[in-house]
Chains A and B, each alone.
Chain A
């Protein structure tokens, strides 16, 4: 049983997409997205998006990395395998700074990449939008708005009329298996 999953409309320019995004936002849609092959300045505000929380994930991971780095070295050199090198104290934290720093950066970078993928719900290779042939131009020169069918305001006819009224072309309903 095929049901509508989303509706897409294409726009000619980044500016057109930006103004259309403001209209869609003001109309009260919440589950929509604006697709382009490069990030467009001002689009976050035009869509009414909140700030990305990624910085907190990365900060947390970086602190964790530093703690793990310093903790590992401190535990190994004082508890598990205490050896004296060049008459230095067992707990010579100055010498551990570099590895601590490296672990901070390493954990932070993993937090960045994995956190970004998590927030973007990637990888996801089977999104319904990929069934549209026209949508493939999104990574080249296409600009699209997609409104998902489970948006509370979604209505097959009214949404199509609305998208046409704000300058959308080639309006297409994307169908998929019912969830």
Chain B
């Protein structure tokens, strides 16, 4: 089963490499960009993938600080998904610069030309925000994994596995003198990552909000983007978890109760996103600015109305099904709805980016944007890369945070429960208050 999935995923990665290769050979003209739509699928896909990552950080950092013990069953998955999603996100702006081999100009590197990047530009803020986000997520993920890597080291059957996991686990001995600093480190990393959940997508939204374009130039963007990011991220976590849970038979570790809690978060953030859509409409009318009014009427009834209504259907109506407990606890239903969330959130970014650009202030410069084959193949290929890396993670690294799951069991608090071990099921239910 794994090999079948991996076969599909790695073919997707080859498509990605091929389409990026063609892009580099021929230039960004192979994409469907035109004037005035200078930002097309590349930025749409970038925002889409970065947004997906946010659920992982929310689960690993904010839910940790809030002592939500149920997170331990899914946090390793979600963190891995974050890292893989940010890698996929980075590809798009990286190649959108045209000559990707000089993409390092974005970093403040001293050079013989004496030139520095513009620190007042939101695009540069993005480089720092996403770069920090990736680095901190990677460290959080790795530090969380060290005790589990030590478990794999001690259970390794072959010399190669023992050497690799031995190296990666850094000589972890599980002594309490180590756990003491480790636990403080984990808490501090969670504290440092928590503001990132809110800040990274806020900074991404400033790419749009600091411009003067109607439909972009609004102060609602940062919170609206953050809610959307968490919404889309949980949609993707749910999709991946349901598949992995089925393939690996993890029903006793990732229980239906855990899934229900994720669905509640989707309901909350989805409703926030729906509120933001309606509020944007209201403010555009209330502002009295004819360009703003036109942009929003054009979104709903103009030449991209089809995309707008896909977005509204998937993002506003879909999550409302989760008001019903039967839906929240039905695996087939939540799988279908999570797919709709993924689709809807991609279309949200498409609507925001393309409708505003294609109809700006001057009718003579209006144009219709459509992606080319290479846009589509690059996006499809990025899914291939995403699933390839995620499948490799599932196969070779500890996909469930073993030491953390043990750490929330009653036995880890001997003062409270010193009795005989409970049955396995009772123990796992105990982890979900």
A49 within 8 A of B: yes
Q: Contact: B173 with A138, CB < 8 Å?
A: yes
| Known A55-B188, A109-B135, A138-B154; contact A122-B178, beta-carbon cutoff 8 A | yes
Q: Contact: A113 with B129, CB < 8 Å?
A: no
By a CB distance below 8 angstroms, the chain A residues around B203 are: 98
B184 within 8 A of A: yes
Q: How many pairs, one residue from A and one from B, have CB atoms within 8 Å of each other in the complex? A: 200
With beta carbons under 8 angstroms apart, the residue of A88, A106, A125, A146 that contacts B120 is A88
With beta carbons under 8 angstroms apart, the residue of A36, A62, A99 that contacts B174 is A36
By a CB distance below 8 angstroms, the chain A residues around B184 are: 52, 54-55, 116
- Most A CB contacts (10 A, CB to CB) among B119, B143, B189, B196 go to B119
- Most B CB contacts (10 A, CB to CB) among A13, A73, A76, A105 go to A105
By a CB distance below 8 angstroms, the chain A residues around B172 are: 122, 139
B: number of interface residues (CB 8 Å): 64
By a CB distance below 8 angstroms, the chain B residues around A122 are: 170-172, 178
User: How distant is B142 from chain A, measured CB to nearest CB, in Å?
Assistant: 8
- Most B CB contacts (10 A, CB to CB) among A73, A95, A112 go to A112
A77 within 8 A of B: yes
| Known A103-B128, A139-B153; contact A43-B179, beta-carbon cutoff 8 A | yes
With beta carbons under 8 angstroms apart, the residue of A55, A80, A102 that contacts B129 is A102
Stretch among B35-43, B87-95, B409-417 lining the A interface: B409-417
With beta carbons under 8 angstroms apart, the residue of B119, B195, B409 that contacts A77 is B119
Interface residues on A, range: 35 or more
Inter-chain CA distance A77–B115, complex, in Å, is 11
Task: Give A residues with C-beta under 8 Å from B.
Answer: 13-15, 18, 21, 33-44, 47, 49, 52, 54-55, 58, 62, 72-73, 76-77, 80-81, 83, 85, 88, 92, 95-96, 98-99, 101-103, 105-106, 108-110, 112-113, 115-117, 119-120, 122-127, 129-130, 136-140, 146
Give the top 6 A-B pairs by smallest Cβ distance, nearest first. Answer: A15-B414, A116-B185, A33-B175, A123-B170, A38-B406, A139-B151
